[in-house]
Chain A
Amino acid sequence: MRTSRNLIYKRILGEVEKEVQLHPNYADLQNQFALLLMVKGEMEKAKNHFLEALRLNPKYREAILNLGFLYLEMRRWKEAEEIFLPEAKQYPKDGFIHHVLGILYLRAGKQKEAVAQIYKSIRYHPFYRDYYKRKGVLRKGVIRLDQKAERALKEIHLNFHYAQFQNFIGLYLAKKGKSTQAIHELRKAARLKPDEFIFHANLGTVHTYQGAYLRAIQEFQKALKIDPCYGMGYANLSYVYGLMCRTREALRCMKKAVHMSPQHADLHYNLALLYSDRRRYEEAAIELKKALRINPDYLFARINLGVLYEDQERWKEARREYRKILQITPDDEHIRKRLERIS
C-alpha cells in the first residue's frame, strides 16, 4: 500500500500533525498521528506517539493494540507478546486477539504456541473458523501449518492497522463532507477486517448523511450482527427509519437501544417522541421522566413533558414544568406564553 504517495494522506498527515502540536494532551490525536506515521513507515516516531497516547490514557485499547502491531511490524516479538498476552487474559473470548497471537508466534518461529492460539481464535469467533478454512490452514478440524499457509498468514497481520488507517481516513473525509470518498475508504477498512463492527457502523452513518438509507440500514445491521450489544447501533437504525418515516420500525429499534444503553438520556427522549407521536402519552411521560432523572437539566425533555401534561389537561404539573424551564431560560417566549395561557 503506497499511501505515502497519496495526496489525501499527505494532507491529512499535515493537518493531524498541526492538531497534535496544538493539543499535545489529546490521546486520540496522538494515536491517530502515530497510526499515520506507522503506515508511512516511520516506526520509531510512531512508537513514541503511541507511547505518549498511552501515557495520557493508559486504558486506551485502540492505542494499545496499535502499539502491539507496530512491535509486530518491527519484529520485536517479545514486546508485542507483552501487549497481546495480557489482552488475551483480559478478553479471553476475543477471537481476534488469539488470532493475532497465533500470527505473532508463527512469525517468531514458535509453531506449537501458534497452533494453540489459532485453535482458540476458531473456538471463540466463527469468522476465523471460515478464514482459516479458506486459507487452507484448517482442514477437517485440524490446524496444518505448511509453508504455503504460513506465508499467507504472515501477511495478514498488517490488516488490523491498515484497516484502522482506512477507517480514520474515511472518517476524516466524512467530516469534510466528502461522503463518496469516505465510503470508499471505509469499505476498504471493512474488507480488511470484516468482523469489526465499528467500520460497518461508520459506513452506516456516512450512508445516512448521504441519503442512502437502505444501504445505511444494511451496514448498521451488519454491525449489530457482529456486536448485538451495540446499543447506539439500534439508535442509529432508529434514526434512519425515522428519516424514512417508518416510525413503527424506528420505535422497535429505539426500544432496543434504550434497553441496551439505559444510561443515555437522549435515547429516552427520542423514545418518548416516538411514543408521543403514536399518542401513547403515558409511556412517553415515563421515558421523559427517566431522561430527566439521568439529566435534570435536560431542557427539551422538560419542555416535552410540560406540553404533554398540558395536552392531558394536567395543568398543575404543566405549570410546574414550565416554571422550571423559565428558571433555566427566562427569555423563552414560547414557554412563557404557554404558562400564561394555563395560569
Chain B
Amino acid sequence: MLKEDFVIQSNIRRMLIRTSIDCSRIDFGTVKGVVYIRGIFQISNPPADGDEAKTVHLTIHALYSLEKKVKSIPGVVDVNFQFFNWRKERGHWVPVDVREKEGEDENKPESNL
C-alpha cells in the first residue's frame, strides 16, 4: 500500500536535517510517492583545511547516502534529484558548473525546511 505524500514529506524533512547536508539551499516535494529534491547540494561541514578533493569525496559520499536514505522511506517509489551543482551520469555523481546552471534558474524558491 502506498504511504501518504504528507507522511513521506515529513520524513524527508526530518531526514534532511539529520544528515550532514547544508539544507539552506535545498527544496523538496512529493507527488504520488515520487520525491523531488532540488537546489544547491553542499555538505554542512566541509574539511577545515579547505582540501577540495576531500570535499568532493565527502560530497559524493553524502549524495549516495542521501539517495539510499530517501529510497528507504516507506512509500517512496522514486527520487528525482535536480541539483544545480551535481548530476548523476551513468550511475555516478559528477559536479556541474554552478554558475552556468544557476543562471538557468534564478527564480528558485526559498528552502522549505
Residues of A within 8 A of B (CB): 177, 208-209, 239-240, 242-243, 245, 247, 250, 265-266, 269-270, 273-274, 276-277, 295, 297-301, 303-304, 307, 328-329, 331-332, 334
* Contact of A243 with B29 in the complex, beta carbons under 8 Å: no
* Contact of A277 with B105 in the complex, beta carbons under 8 Å: no
Q: Which residue of B lies closest to A271 (CB)?
A: B6
B residues less than 8 Å from A277 (CB atoms): 4-7
A68 to chain B, nearest CB (A): 31
* Contact of A269 with B108 in the complex, beta carbons under 8 Å: no
A307 to B77, CA, bound (A): 15
* Contact of B109 with A295 in the complex, beta carbons under 8 Å: yes
In B58-113, the 8 Å CB interface with A consists of 78, 80, 82, 105, 107-109, 112
Looking at the complex, which one of A243, A266, A295, A304 makes contact with B31 (CB distance below 8 Å)?
A304
* Contact of A209 with B14 in the complex, beta carbons under 8 Å: yes
Which 9 residue pairs spanning A and B have beta carbons closest together?
A300-B29, A242-B10, A277-B4, A297-B107, A266-B112, A273-B6, A273-B5, A239-B10, A274-B6
B residues less than 8 Å from A304 (CB atoms): 29, 31
Contacts A/B (CB < 8 Å), 22 sampled: A177-B18, A239-B13, A240-B10, A242-B6, A242-B9, A243-B7, A245-B4, A247-B7, A250-B6, A273-B5, A273-B9, A277-B4, A277-B5, A277-B7, A297-B109, A299-B109, A300-B28, A328-B105, A328-B107, A329-B105, A331-B82, A332-B82
A240 to B29, CA, bound (A): 17
A275 to B88, CA, bound (A): 33
A residues less than 8 Å from B6 (CB atoms): 242, 247, 250, 270, 273-274, 277
Residues of B within 8 A of A (CB): 3-7, 9-11, 13-14, 17-18, 27-32, 34, 36, 38, 78, 80, 82, 105, 107-109, 112
A residues less than 8 Å from B38 (CB atoms): 299, 329
A329 to B81, CA, bound (A): 12
Contact residues of B: prevailing secondary structure: mixed
Looking at the complex, which one of B17, B32, B82 makes contact with A329 (CB distance below 8 Å)?
B82
* Contact of B109 with A298 in the complex, beta carbons under 8 Å: yes
* Contact of B82 with A300 in the complex, beta carbons under 8 Å: no
* Contact of A300 with B18 in the complex, beta carbons under 8 Å: no
B residues less than 8 Å from A300 (CB atoms): 27-31, 36
Q: Which residue of B lies closest to A240 (CB)?
A: B10
B71 to chain A, nearest CB (A): 15
B88 to chain A, nearest CB (A): 11
B residues less than 8 Å from A243 (CB atoms): 7, 10-11, 14
* Contact of A247 with B4 in the complex, beta carbons under 8 Å: yes
A residues less than 8 Å from B18 (CB atoms): 177, 209
A329 to B36, CA, bound (A): 12
B64 to chain A, nearest CB (A): 19
